[in-house]
């Protein structure tokens, strides 16, 4: 069960009504234009080509595929996530620019699906990343995929009123929880290139639960990222 958070963050609610109109306009545009990075891990990937091409055509909804995490808004994970894959998924997620959204497709991302008894598979994706929308099914049809994307679009559009389309903030607010689960799988020396705590400070999304014993562990082992040394080996 998710504990109720005591949020001590900077208030982002604007008092100027014109600024609110502006914010609503921005979130309207954000809901109308979504660039999607699909991390095709499993069999669910096969349902994406029909969803994108002539039969169902996602581009009419403003959704188009992008190929790098820097440009993308949605991280679409289509199928079971093995422990090794999860590392890559987390690295990719942390490189994306917020606001960013995660969609888990197929039963495998919801509860492990048919890989429930596998020792090498991460069962619930939302223990490691904040997931906006799950699309269940084995595999979900393109109609279901598009239905899920429409729900995400509505969440983004009504985010100011309903607070449903900003799961990415949760990653900063409760980083200790996510990091703890990640360390449980990958070992105590798990470190990513992105400094999440510094980003949480930048966004003003620090809470009490951003820090904890897992982030202490991270700070203990964290090595600064240095550029690789250039070496030229000459033949004698």
Partner 1 sequence: MNYSELLAELFLMPLVAFVVGLLMVLMMRKISARLQRRIGPPFFQPIYDIIKLYGKDTQISHGLIHDIGIVMAVGGYIGAELLLPVPGMDGIADKGGIITLSYFLMIPSLGMALGVGQCANPNGSIGISRALTAMLAYDIPFILIVFGAAWHYESTSLVGMLEYQQTHQWGIVEMPLLAIAGLFALQGMLGKQPFEIYIAPAEIATGPMVEMSGKYMGGLFVMQSFQLYTAGVLYASLFLGGGTTWLELLPKAFFVVAIPMSIAFMFPRYKTEDVVRLMWKWPVMLALISLAFIL
Q: Does residue 67 bind partner 1 (CB under 8 A)? A: yes
134 vs 172 by CB, closer to partner 1: 172
Residue 34 is inside which H or E element, if any?
Answer: strand 34-39
Tokens standing for residue 105:
């497709």
DSSP 116-141: TT-TTEE--GGGTS--SEEE-SSSPP
* Burial label, 165 (beta-carbon count in 10 A; 0-12, 13-18, 19+): buried
Binding residues for partner 1, rule CB under 8 A, total: 25
Q: Does residue 62 bind partner 1 (CB under 8 A)? A: yes
Tokens standing for residue 166:
């900003």
Q: Does residue 163 bind partner 1 (CB under 8 A)? A: no
Q: Does residue 12 bind partner 1 (CB under 8 A)? A: no
Alpha-carbon gap, residue 174 to 180, rounded angstroms: 10
Residues facing residue 102 across a β-bridge: 75
Q: How far is CA 14 from CA 31, 56, 136, 168, 207, in A?
A: 20, 39, 37, 20, 20
The 177-216 site mask, x for binding partner 1 (CB under 8 A), equals: ----------------------x--xx-------------
Binding region for partner 1 (CB under 8 A) out of 59-67, 102-110, 176-184, 217-225 = 59-67
Alpha-carbon gap, residue 200 to 76, rounded angstroms: 23
7, 49, 59, 189: which one contacts partner 1 (CB under 8 A)? 59
33 vs 191 by CB, closer to partner 1: 33
60 vs 161 by CB, closer to partner 1: 60
Q: Does residue 57 bind partner 1 (CB under 8 A)? A: yes
Binding region for partner 1 (CB under 8 A) out of 30-38, 145-153, 171-179, 214-222 = 30-38
Alpha-carbon gap, residue 99 to 111, rounded angstroms: 26
Considering only residues 210 to 229 of the shown chain, the ones binding partner 1 according to CB under 8 A are 227
Q: Which residues bind partner 1 (CB under 8 A)?
A: 25-26, 29-30, 32-33, 53-54, 57, 59-60, 62, 66-68, 70-71, 73, 97-99, 199, 202-203, 227
């Amino acid at each position: 069960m998710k504990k109720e958070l005591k949020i001590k963050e900077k208030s982002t609610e604007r008092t100027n009504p014109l600024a609110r109109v502006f914010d609503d306009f921005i979130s309207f545009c954000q809901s109308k234009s979504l660039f999607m990075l699909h991390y095709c891990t499993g069999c669910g990937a096969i349902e994406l080509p029909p969803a994108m091409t002539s039969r169902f055509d996602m581009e009419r909804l403003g959704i188009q595929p992008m190929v790098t995490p820097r440009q993308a808004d949605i991280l679409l994970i289509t199928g079971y996530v093995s422990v090794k894959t999860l590392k890559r998924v987390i690295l990719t997620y942390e490189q994306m620019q917020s606001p960013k959204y995660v969609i888990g497709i197929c039963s495998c991302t919801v509860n492990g699906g048919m890989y429930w008894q596998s020792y090498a598979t991460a069962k619930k994706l939302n223990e490691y990343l904040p997931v906006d929308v799950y699309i269940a099914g084995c595999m979900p049809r393109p109609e279901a995929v598009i239905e899920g994307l429409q729900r995400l679009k509505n969440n983004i559009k009504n985010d100011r009123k309903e607070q449903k389309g900003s799961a990415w903030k949760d990653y900063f607010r409760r980083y200790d929880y996510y990091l703890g689960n990640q360390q449980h799988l990958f070992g105590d020396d798990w470190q990513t290139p992105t400094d999440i705590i510094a980003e949480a400070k930048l966004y003003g999304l620090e809470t009490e639960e951003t820090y904890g014993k897992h982030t202490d562990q991270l700070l203990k082992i964290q090595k600064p990222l240095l550029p690789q040394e250039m070496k030229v080996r000459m033949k004698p």
